[in-house]
Amino acid sequence: MKNVTVYMGPMCAFCDAAKRLLTKKNIPYKEINVALDESKLEEMLKKSNGKRTIPQIFIEDYHVGGYVELRALENKGELDNLIK
């Protein structure tokens, strides 16, 4: 299974929804709180080409985007193949 990283912040409903979806599918993920570490915010901005919204979700080096994009992959049946 590929590594999944979720850049997130506090009190973020879309972050919580993304984590719930991944947990429901038994997909392990690394959670990085960009509010606690400015270097992680800079890392997220660099990896996401300057996107400041959270969450920003990555499967290995593939930039999924946010929760809406993650949910769309799941709805189209493509998420499982990306994770393998």
Cα–Cα distance, 18 to 71 (Å, whole number): 8
Q: What percentage of the chain carries pLDDT values higher than 90?
A: 99
pLDDT tens, residue by residue, 45-59: 999 999 999 999 999
What is the predicted pLDDT for the residue at 30? 98
Would you tell me which CATH number, out of the four given (3.10.20.30, 3.40.30.10, 1.10.3720.10, 3.40.50.2300), belongs to the domain 34-84? 3.40.30.10
pTM for this predicted structure: 0.95
Strand pairing report for 4-8 and 30-33: parallel
Break the chain into its structural domains and give their ranges.
Answer: 34-84
Tell me, what's the pLDDT at 35?
96
pLDDT at 70: 99
